[in-house]
């Protein structure tokens, strides 16, 4: 054996074939030399060093000499051959994390601003769009960083990105059906953040530990959201969630109904004839649909004389308010797979009758249930469910007199499929005028608004061009002519109640957006249109010259941008919600007088003519305030309801009726002056 090696042994024979095979392996697997060699010299060539040797550290000559030197048959194995110098490979650089950390920090800073501070400057819809697209931007930035800037081998880059994607797919497959949007808007940012922060912590750890920690943190973050149920959003589009196995308010209500004796029809109450008087509240927002209760004042100190609770009961989901006639209160709710119209005893709260239709409308934002409020007229109840079922019922007994599916009647042609309800359901409360029941349907080809014969239900007319609205028809008299106003994404249209003829219109097109609040009449010739999404409120002056009508814009103010929270008028000033903050507007100019009072996205009811205004907050607080051009003063407050409250309050016969999608309650107001 040659000097320099004591007895170098190779696994295979020392033939030229073995030498060529090793050389080929070295060229193919360029990152290392896959040799099984035992070197027993004091020696310069060991398996532990050579097998990890990067190819670029050897020149071509040195590489050849190294291979030859390992063969005992080679003349290069003599003691005169000096071993080549082998430089150990530098350790791999740690992942480059600062771009990902900057992305994550920017996302959560934007999230905190929009969620907690954006209401003062952004409309609810802009807040929603921001929170919708920000996670997508974060995901796109993470993909770009993972593929091109993370500074890992390609196998590591793809593995990191694959972990995040696999966690998202698993969460989406296992998530509750209501969490489809929540997986993207909430789970994805949390999953990405968990992966980035974990990589920051274990960036210098051994590969096995690093990937184990990353997999655990990523799947834990994504997996948490598969345990949740999405229960809708607040008025500012903040998500509400609960454990998916916990019962919903509707589950609790249906379970309670199943254990109680069935409430039958009250024969004595049903025999009573119902006639609306001036002290009643026969339709949505009152007899004039303006949320103004006239000639009334309330005791301002509710600490000394608090409203007395008469009754409280669970109710099915729905955003319906109440119609009150005599000792009856009418509202709507969801009962499992049926929409129900209820008639309740106002004083005791028990059910007198109910009518159910097999229909269920649900959307992930606002939940299930009817949105519209029943209308009382001439002894009958007219109701519209969230899915578009229009009913005429006997108000005393609940007997069905006639019914129509407006999604069928609003089709552009008989062979076309039924119209789909608006994104958040039909919210139009029926209006009865001149013997015609008017309802918004949203059909194309002059089928925006439908007019039915009140006694028979026969479709008398269809007209209008609006296809998207959550407002209700509104009866006004201008220049001595009764007309029905309807706001939609197109603007404002005025119809003749009996024929459906369009008398005049004002174009204010929102394209793919919508309107919610009622138009408001000032005097006998001016109308206010409230519009969300940073558009504001507009004052129009309507005039008639011979047979020609005109609608002139007086001003448009962005100081009041109502979403679904209707405003009220007292004197020369308007009071309503700009976002979730109360604001006072000068009607002469449209300019803001003040803006304060945070009650969430609640509802307001003007009481009397001395500035008392009842606010029902989004959290269910009943707040008695005093408003004037000089400011807002909170007089009294008590907790009326539990849960998200978007429904309009009602005061009738000295009683306050409030409800939301979980419960309803009736309070007797302390001051006898509250009774009209």
DSSP string of 643-675? S---SPPEEETTEEEEE-SSEEEEEE-S-GGG-
Work out the average pLDDT over 252-256.
94
Residue 45: the pLDDT is: 41
Q: What are phi and psi of 219, to 5 degrees?
A: -70, -30
Determine the Cα–Cα distance for residues 532 and 125; give it in Å rounded to an integer: 8
The two structure tokens encoding residue 272: 């009573």
Q: What b/e readout covers 73-108, taking b as 16+ CB neighbours within 10 angstroms?
A: ebebbeeebeebebeeeeeeeebebebbeebbeebe
Determine the Cα–Cα distance for residues 475 and 493; give it in Å rounded to an integer: 12
Closest CA to 181 of 135, 140, 227: 135
DSSP H or E stretch at residue 495 = strand 491-495
- In the numeric block, the tokens 């002059």 are attached to 446
- For residue 590, is pLDDT > 80? yes
Residue 415: the pLDDT is: 86
Residue 82: the pLDDT is: 59
Contact call for residues 626 and 312 (beta carbons, < 8 A): no
Determine the Cα–Cα distance for residues 530 and 538; give it in Å rounded to an integer: 7
Q: State in words which class domain 249-674 has.
A: mainly beta
- For residue 551, is pLDDT > 90? yes
Closest CA to 635 of 622, 650, 654, 617: 622
Residue 262: the pLDDT is: 61
Q: Could you tell me how far CA 77 lies from the centroid of its own chain? A: 78
pLDDT band at 402 (very low <50, low <70, confident <90, very high): very high
Closest CA to 83 of 52, 48, 39: 39
Domain definitions of the chain by residue range? 9-77, 98-239, 249-674
Work out the average pLDDT over 493-499.
97
Determine the Cα–Cα distance for residues 567 and 556; give it in Å rounded to an integer: 16
What is the layout of strands, in order, in the sheet containing 536-545?
520-522, 526-531, 536-545, 548-557
- For residue 42, is pLDDT > 50? no
- For residue 43, is pLDDT > 50? no
Determine the Cα–Cα distance for residues 336 and 344; give it in Å rounded to an integer: 20
- For residue 512, is pLDDT > 70? yes
- For residue 68, is pLDDT > 80? no
Contact call for residues 342 and 393 (beta carbons, < 8 A): no
Determine the Cα–Cα distance for residues 376 and 516; give it in Å rounded to an integer: 22
- For residue 261, is pLDDT > 80? no
Closest CA to 372 of 334, 407, 420: 334
- For residue 522, is pLDDT > 50? yes
- For residue 58, is pLDDT > 70? no
What is the layout of strands, in order, in the sheet containing 631-639?
292-293, 603-607, 612-616, 621-628, 631-639
Residue 266: the pLDDT is: 62
Determine the Cα–Cα distance for residues 480 and 484; give it in Å rounded to an integer: 13
CA atoms within 13 A on the CB side of 191: 33
The model carries a pTM of 0.82
Q: Could you tell me how far CA 318 lies from the centroid of its own chain? A: 16
Closest CA to 636 of 663, 665, 671: 671
Higher pLDDT, 497 or 13: 497
Determine the Cα–Cα distance for residues 643 and 231; give it in Å rounded to an integer: 11
Mapping DSSP to helix (H, G, I), strand (E, B) and coil, where does residue 31 land?
coil
419-473, pLDDT tens digit by residue?
Answer: 999 999 999 999 999 999 999 999 999 999 999 999 999 999 999 999 999 999 9
Q: Which residues contact 20 (CB under 8 A, 6 or more apart)?
A: none
pLDDT band at 546 (very low <50, low <70, confident <90, very high): confident
Residue 671: the pLDDT is: 60
Determine the Cα–Cα distance for residues 461 and 295; give it in Å rounded to an integer: 38
Higher pLDDT, 31 or 161: 161
Residue 15: the pLDDT is: 46
Determine the Cα–Cα distance for residues 631 and 596; give it in Å rounded to an integer: 8
Q: Choose the most confident range, by mean pLDDT, from 18-22, 28-32, 469-473.
A: 469-473
pLDDT band at 62 (very low <50, low <70, confident <90, very high): low
- For residue 35, is pLDDT > 70? no
Contact call for residues 593 and 584 (beta carbons, < 8 A): yes
Closest CA to 446 of 510, 512, 501: 501
- For residue 222, is pLDDT > 70? yes
- For residue 650, is pLDDT > 80? yes
- For residue 8, is pLDDT > 50? no
pLDDT band at 120 (very low <50, low <70, confident <90, very high): low
Q: Could you tell me how far CA 589 lies from the centroid of its own chain? A: 34
Contact call for residues 597 and 621 (beta carbons, < 8 A): no
**Mean pLDDT rounded to a whole number for the chain:** 86
pLDDT band at 37 (very low <50, low <70, confident <90, very high): very low
Q: What b/e readout covers 325-353, taking b as 16+ CB neighbours within 10 angstroms?
A: bbbbbbbbbbbbebbbbbbbbbeebebbb
Mapping DSSP to helix (H, G, I), strand (E, B) and coil, where does residue 541 land?
strand
Sign of CA dihedral 630, 631, 637, 641: positive
- For residue 368, is pLDDT > 80? yes
Residue 233: the pLDDT is: 87
Residue 267: the pLDDT is: 60
| Torsion from C-alpha of 238, 239, 242, 247, nearest 10 degrees | 100
Q: Could you tell me how far CA 274 lies from the centroid of its own chain? A: 40
Q: Which residues contact 664 (CB under 8 A, 6 or more apart)?
A: 312, 313, 315, 331, 641, 657, 658
3-state SS string for 350-413: CEEEEEEEECCCEECCCEECCCCCCEEECCEEEEECCCCEEEEEECCCCCEEEEEEHHHHCCCC
Residue 296: the pLDDT is: 84
Determine the Cα–Cα distance for residues 463 and 436; give it in Å rounded to an integer: 14
- For residue 208, is pLDDT > 50? yes
**pLDDT above 70 coverage of the chain, percent:** 83
pLDDT band at 193 (very low <50, low <70, confident <90, very high): very high
- For residue 204, is pLDDT > 80? yes
Contact call for residues 560 and 549 (beta carbons, < 8 A): no
Higher pLDDT, 43 or 535: 535
DSSP H or E stretch at residue 19 = helix 16-28
Determine the Cα–Cα distance for residues 469 and 464; give it in Å rounded to an integer: 12
């Amino acid at each position: 054996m040659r000097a320099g090696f004591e007895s170098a042994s190779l696994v295979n024979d020392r033939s030229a074939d073995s030498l060529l095979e090793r050389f080929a392996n070295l060229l193919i697997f360029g990152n290392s030399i896959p040799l099984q060699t035992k070197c027993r010299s004091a020696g310069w060539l060991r398996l532990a060093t050579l097998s990890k040797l990067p190819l670029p550290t050897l020149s071509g000559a040195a590489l050849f000499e190294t291979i030859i030197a390992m063969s005992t048959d080679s003349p290069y194995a003599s003691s005169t051959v000096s071993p080549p110098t082998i430089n150990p490979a530098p350790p791999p650089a740690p992942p480059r994390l600062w771009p990902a950390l900057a992305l994550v920090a920017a996302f959560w800073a934007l999230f905190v601003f929009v969620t907690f501070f954006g209401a003062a400057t952004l409309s609810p819809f802009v807040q929603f769009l921001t929170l919708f697209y920000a996670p997508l931007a974060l995901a796109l930035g993470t993909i770009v960083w993972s593929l091109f800037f993370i500074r890992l081998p390609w196998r590591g880059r793809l593995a990191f990105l694959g972990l995040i994607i696999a966690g998202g797919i698993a969460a989406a497959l296992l998530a509750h059906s209501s969490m489809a949007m929540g997986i993207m808007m909430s789970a994805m940012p949390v999953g990405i953040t968990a992966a980035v922060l974990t990589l920051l912590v274990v960036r210098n750890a051994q590969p096995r530990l690093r990937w184990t920690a990353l997999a655990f943190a990523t799947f834990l973050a994504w997996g948490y959201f598969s345990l949740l149920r999405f229960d809708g959003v607040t008025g500012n589009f903040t998500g509400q969630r609960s454990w998916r196995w916990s019962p919903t308010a509707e589950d609790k209500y249906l379970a309670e109904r199943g254990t109680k004796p069935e409430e039958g029809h009250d024969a004595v109450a049903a025999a009573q004839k119902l006639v609306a008087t001036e002290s009643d509240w026969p339709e949505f927002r009152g007899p004039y649909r303006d949320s103004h209760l006239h000639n009334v004042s309330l005791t301002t100190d509710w600490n000394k004389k608090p409203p007395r609770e008469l009754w409280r009961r669970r109710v099915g989901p729905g955003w319906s308010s109440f119609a009150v006639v005599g000792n009856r209160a009418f509202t709507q709710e969801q009962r499992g797979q049926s929409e129900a119209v209820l008639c309740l005893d106002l004083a005791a709260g028990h059910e007198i009758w109910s009518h159910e239709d097999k229909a269920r409308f649900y959307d992930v934002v606002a939940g299930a249930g009817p949105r519209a409020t029943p209308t009382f007229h001439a002894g009958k109840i007219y109701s519209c469910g969230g899915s578009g079922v229009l009913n005429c019922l006997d108000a005393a007994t609940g007997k069905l007199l006639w019914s129509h599916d407006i999604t069928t009647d609003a089709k552009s042609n008989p062979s076309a499929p039924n119209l789909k309800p608006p994104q958040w359901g039909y919210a139009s409360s029926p209006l009865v005028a001149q013997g015609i029941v008017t309802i918004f349907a949203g059909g194309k080809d002059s089928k925006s608004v439908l007019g039915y014969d009140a006694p028979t239900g026969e479709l008398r007319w269809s007209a209008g061009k609006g296809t998207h609205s959550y407002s209700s028809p509104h009866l006004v008299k201008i220049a001595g002519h009764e007309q029905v106003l309807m706001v939609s994404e197109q603007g404002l249209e005025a119809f003749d109640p009996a024929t459906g003829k369009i008398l005049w219109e004002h174009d204010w097109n929102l394209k793919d957006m919508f309107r919610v609040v009622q138009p408001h009449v000032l005097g006998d010739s001016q109308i206010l249109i409230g519009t969300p999404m940073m558009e504001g409120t507009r004052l129009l002056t309507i005039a008639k010259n011979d047979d020609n009508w005109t609608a002139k814009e007086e001003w448009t103010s962005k100081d009041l941008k109502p979403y679904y929270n209707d405003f009220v008028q007292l004197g020369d000033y308007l009071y309503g919600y700009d976002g979730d903050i109360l604001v006072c507007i000068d009607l002469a100019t449209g300019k803001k007088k003040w803006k304060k009072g945070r009650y969430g996205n609640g509802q307001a009811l003007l009481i009397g003519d001395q500035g008392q205004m009842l606010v029902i907050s989004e959290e269910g607080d009943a707040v008695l305030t005093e408003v004037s051009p000089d400011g807002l003063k909170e007089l009294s407050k008590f907790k009326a309801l539990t849960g998200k409250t978007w429904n309009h309050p009602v005061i009738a016969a000295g009683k306050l009726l409030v409800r939301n999608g979980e419960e309803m309650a009736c309070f007797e107001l302390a001051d006898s002056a509250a009774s009209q």
